[in-house]
């Protein structure tokens, strides 16, 4: 069971109208949300519960984030709102794992809980991108944001969430765009070899996308998709790794 609560929301006054008002100095009140994932796991007394809590940690937190993101994904589809986005653990102000009775946990409370350290952002796919330097290059017009980069990010999000069909369709579009957009950089470093590798992977990606349209992506196709996605991400990193001058 997923329980959502809004905390610290500013008071709504229906009669105040829509006219601007004089701003108050200082920061504005910030609305926060509390999300509680309740699992119906029986615990045989206080000692058993405390043993479970001592062993709990990252796995429970990551599982809760995965459930929340699935709900957000479905909410985006239900509301047709493209601006509903999934979240990462490191975006949370605080993450707690604990146990309690039904009414307690339904209200976001607990009998005993641990506060977990903040999650660490993954550097696996960003180490070579030098984000601050690239942002400066983009803002200064010395580099361009490629369409395939956004498509790759969407494919990665779907792949990490286990949405195989969506990942296949996104990666097919991303790879098609990347092969065209990266061609001007082919003479740099080893990009020509990377593009040749991506062309060899394209038939498999295209076949997986067709399978997605016909109903599903099996384990073998999913493994091929993940490999192709990783190679495409590596090619995009290689393009930016040599700088922007």
Q: Residues 164, 155: contact at Cβ < 8 Å?
A: no
pLDDT for 137-195, tens place per residue? Answer: 899 998 989 999 999 999 999 999 999 999 999 999 999 999 999 999 999 889 999 99
Q: Which residues of 63-80 are buried (b: 16+ CB within 10 A; e: fewer)?
A: ebbeebbeebbeeeeeee
> What token pair was written down for 68?
């929340």
Instruction: Tell me what pLDDT residue 129 has.
Output: 47
Instruction: Tell me what pLDDT residue 92 has.
Output: 87
Q: How far is CA 87 from CA 100, 146, 157, 190, in A?
A: 26, 24, 10, 35
The pTM (predicted TM-score) of the whole model is 0.78
Report DSSP letters for 170-206, one per residue. HHHHHHHHHHHHSGGGTTSTTHHHHHHHHHHHHHHHH
Q: Highest-confidence range of 2-16, 93-107, 181-195, by mean pLDDT?
A: 181-195
Asked whether the predicted pLDDT for residue 28 surpasses 50, the reply is: yes
Tell me the pLDDT of the chain averaged across its residues: 86
Match 């196709």 to its residue by tokens. 221
Instruction: Tell me what pLDDT residue 110 has.
Output: 83
Instruction: Tell me what pLDDT residue 188 has.
Output: 87
Asked whether the predicted pLDDT for residue 126 surpasses 70, the reply is: no
The C-alpha atoms of residue 171 and residue 190 are separated, in whole angstroms, by 22
Q: What's the pLDDT band for 16 if we cut at 50, 70, 90?
A: low
């Amino acid at each position: 069971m997923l329980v959502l609560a809004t905390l610290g929301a500013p008071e709504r006054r229906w009669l105040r109208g829509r006219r601007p008002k004089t701003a108050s100095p200082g920061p504005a009140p910030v609305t926060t949300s509390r999300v509680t994932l309740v699992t119906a796991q029986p615990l045989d007394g206080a000692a058993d519960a405390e043993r479970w809590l001592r062993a709990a940690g990252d796995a429970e937190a990551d599982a809760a984030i995965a459930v929340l993101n699935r709900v957000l994904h479905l909410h985006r589809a239900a509301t047709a709102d493209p601006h509903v986005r999934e979240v990462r653990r490191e975006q949370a102000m605080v993450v707690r794992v604990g146990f309690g009775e039904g009414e307690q946990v339904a209200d976001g409370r607990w009998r005993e809980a641990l506060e977990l350290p903040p999650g660490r952002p993954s550097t696996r796919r960003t180490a070579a991108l030098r984000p601050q330097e690239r942002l400066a290059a983009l803002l200064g017009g010395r580099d361009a944001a490629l369409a395939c980069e956004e498509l790759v990010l969407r494919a990665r999000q779907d792949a990490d969430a286990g949405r195989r069909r969506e990942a296949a369709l996104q990666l097919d579009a991303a790879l098609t765009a990347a092969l065209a957009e990266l061609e001007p950089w082919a003479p740099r470093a080893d990009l020509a070899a990377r593009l040749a590798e991506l062309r060899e992977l394209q038939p498999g990606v295209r076949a997986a996308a067709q399978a997605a349209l016909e109903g599903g992506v099996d384990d073998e196709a999913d493994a091929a998709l993940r490999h192709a996605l990783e190679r495409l991400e590596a090619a995009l990193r290689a393009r930016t790794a040599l700088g922007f001058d």
